């Protein structure tokens, strides 16, 4: 169950930078997106707390931030026109490989 909590935490981790970006691109809904960012931050923290009760904190933190970073990277490319150069994709893949590796070696 701890790994489930960690993945949920990582998905909420994506919510706050996305909310900030939406607040910037849609200033007419600024307050709504900032509130969603704050709620997302809080839920991300709660689920990280639940996960790290079982998973070592070093592993939990690396996986949490890594999944959040890779998902945000993908959202940036798909929805906001961020660069999808080969090098950027390679380095994002390296983060993903590190996340998988941490999951494999954690007992």
The whole-number pLDDT of residue 40 equals 97
Q: How many angstroms separate the CA atoms of 28 and 76, rounded?
A: 21
The whole-number pLDDT of residue 102 equals 83
Q: Quickly count helices (H) and strands (E) in the chain.
A: 4, 0
Biggest CA–CA distance in the chain, Å, is 48
Is residue 81 left, alpha or beta, with left meaning phi > 0 and alpha meaning psi from -120 to 50?
left
Better pLDDT: 107 or 28: 28
Q: How far is CA 87 from CA 7, 33, 41, in A?
A: 26, 31, 29
| Radius of gyration in angstroms for the set of CA atoms belonging to the chain, rounded to a whole number | 15
pTM for the full predicted model: 0.86
The whole-number pLDDT of residue 5 equals 98
Asked if residue 18 has pLDDT above 80, the reply is: yes
The whole-number pLDDT of residue 106 equals 76
pLDDT digits (tens, 9 = 90+) for 44-59: 999 999 999 999 998 9
Q: How many angstroms separate the CA atoms of 6 and 88, rounded?
A: 25
The whole-number pLDDT of residue 104 equals 87
Strand runs (DSSP E) across the chain, as ranges?
none
Give percent above pLDDT 90 in the chain. 89
pLDDT digits (tens, 9 = 90+) for 64-78: 999 999 999 999 999
């Amino acid at each position: 169950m701890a790994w489930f909590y960690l993945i949920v935490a990582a998905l909420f981790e994506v919510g706050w930078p996305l909310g900030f970006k939406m607040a910037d691109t849609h200033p007419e809904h600024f307050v709504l997106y900032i509130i969603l960012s704050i709620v997302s931050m809080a839920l991300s923290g709660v689920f990280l707390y639940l996960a790290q009760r079982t998973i070592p904190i070093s592993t939990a933190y690396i996986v949490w931030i890594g999944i959040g970073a890779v998902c945000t990277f993908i959202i940036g490319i798909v929805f906001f026109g961020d660069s999808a150069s080969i090098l950027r994709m390679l380095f994002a893949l390296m983060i993903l490989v590190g996340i998988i590796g941490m999951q494999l070696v954690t007992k």
